[in-house]
Amino acid sequence: MLLFGLTFLILIALFLIWMIVQQRGKLNLQARQLGENARELKHQHDLWEGNLLAQENERQRIAAQLHDDVCTKLGVLHLTFHRLRRMSPDQEEYAEMCTEINDLIGETLGITRKISHDLVPPTLEGFGLIEALEELCEQIRNTGTADVRLQHNLGRNDLGDVNTELNLFRIVQELTNNTLKHAEASFITIELQKEEGVVLFNYCDNGIGYDQDNETAKGLGLKNIFNRARMIGAKVEISTAPDQGFEIRFAIPVSKD
C-alpha cells in the first residue's frame, strides 16, 4: 500500500509538472505572438507617421512656392491693375502698364504650371517611371553640371502601382538634388533591375561623400527619402565616407506575376 501511495503521488507530481510545462509553453507562445503583434503595430505606425511626414513636407514646399511666387506675383498684379484703373488710355504709361500686367500674368501661369508639374509629372502619369527618369536625366545633363547614366530592365507595369512609381521618382529627385547641391560630383549612376519578387534600385555618385556618424550631414533630404522608402516597403542601405562618393541601395518588394 505504501509503494502504491508513493507511486500515486509521483504520478500526480509528474502530471502537475507536465501541466506547468504546458502552461509555460502556452504563455511563451502568447508572449511571442504579442511581441510580433507589437512589432507589426510599430511598423504600421512608422509607415503611417512617415507617410504623414512626407505629405506634410510636400504641403509645406507647395505652400512656400505659392506664397513666395504666386502670391507675390498676384499682389504686384493687383497693385498694377489698380494703378491702371486710375489712368486714361491716352496716357503714355497706359500701354507700358498693360504690357507689365500681361507679363505678370504670363509669369504667374508659368509658376502655376511648374507647381502642377511638380505634384505629378505629366511624363510619369502618361508614360511611367522610366520615361520620367529619362526626362529628368536629360534635364540634368543639359545643365552641364553632371553626367547621368540610367540602366534598367523594367517593363511598364513591373512596379505594380502608380504610388510606388511616384515615390521612387521623388526619391530620385531628392537624391539628384542632394548630389548637385552638395556632393560636387561629375557622374551619377541610376540602376533599376527586376529580380524574382523584388526590384533593386541603386543610386551612386562620385562626389565628396560624408561621414555617416555625423547626424547633421544627413539632413532633411535623407529623412524624406527614408520616409518614402518605408511607404513603399523598401529596405535601404547606404555606403558613403568622406571623399569616397555616395551609394544608396533599395530593395522594393513587387508582385512575382
Q: How confident is the model at residue 204 (pLDDT cuts 50, 70, 90)?
A: very high
Residues 163-199 as b or e (16 or more Cβ within 10 Å = b): ebbbbbbbbbbbbbebbbeebebeebebebebeeebb
> What backbone phi and psi angles, to 5 degrees, belong to 77?
-60, -40
CA atoms within 13 A on the CB side of 101: 15
What pLDDT score was predicted for residue 147? Answer: 93
Q: How confident is the model at residue 202 (pLDDT cuts 50, 70, 90)?
A: very high
Q: How confident is the model at residue 65 (pLDDT cuts 50, 70, 90)?
A: confident
What pLDDT score was predicted for residue 191? Answer: 95
Contact 178, 146 (CB under 8 A): no
59 pLDDT more than 80: no
Q: How many residues would you count in the chain?
A: 257
pLDDT digits (tens, 9 = 90+) for 114-136: 776 666 677 777 778 888 899 89
Q: If phi over 0 gives left and psi between -120 and 50 gives alpha, with beta otherwise, what is residue 218?
A: alpha
> E strands of 25-133, at which residues?
none
The order of strands in the sheet holding 235-240 is 147-152, 187-195, 198-205, 246-253, 235-240
Rounded Cα distance between 23 and 233, Å, is 37
Quote the crossing angle between the two packed helices 2-65 and 92-119, to the nearest 10°: 160
Task: Return the C-alpha cell found at 200.
Answer: 533593386
10 Å CB burial of residue 54 (0-12, 13-18, 19+) is buried
Does this model's pTM top 0.85?
A: no
What pLDDT score was predicted for residue 24? Answer: 81
- Residue range 18-25: mean pLDDT, rounded: 78
What pLDDT score was predicted for residue 207? Answer: 93
What pLDDT score was predicted for residue 25? Answer: 79
- Nearest residue to 252 via CA among 123, 137, 147, 165: 165
Give domain limits for the chain: 2-119, 125-253
pLDDT digits (tens, 9 = 90+) for 91-113: 878 888 888 888 888 888 888 77
Contact 96, 87 (CB under 8 A): no
Rounded Cα distance between 241 and 213, Å, is 10
Contact 209, 241 (CB under 8 A): yes
What pLDDT score was predicted for residue 236? Answer: 93
Candidate CATH numbers 3.50.50.60, 3.40.50.880, 3.40.50.300, 3.30.565.10; the one for domain 125-253: 3.30.565.10
Q: Identify the DSSP state of 70.
A: I
pLDDT digits (tens, 9 = 90+) for 137-186: 998 998 888 999 999 998 777 776 788 888 899 899 889 988 998 889 99
Q: What is the DSSP string of 211-237?
A: -TT-HHHHHHHHHHHHHHHHHTT-EEE
